[in-house]
Amino acid sequence: MPRGRKRKDADETPIDADYRLDLVRNKEKGQRYAWVSDDDMPLMKARGYTRVERSSDPDATAPAFDTANTEDTEYRVGRNRLLLMKIPEERARRIEAGPLREAAARVAQIKLSAQESGGRGVAIGGDITHQVEA
User: Mean pLDDT for the chain?
Assistant: 77
Q: How far apart are CA 86 and CA 33, in angstroms?
A: 4
The domain ranges of the chain are: 19-89, 94-131
Do residues 72 and 62 lie in contact, with contact meaning Cβ atoms separated by under 8 Å? no
Is the confidence at residue 130, as pLDDT, over 70? no
pLDDT band at 134 (very low <50, low <70, confident <90, very high): very low
What are the backbone angles phi and psi of residue 120, rounded to the nearest 5°?
-80, -20
Nearest of 52, 80, 65 to residue 23 by alpha carbon: 65
pTM to 2 decimals?
Answer: 0.58
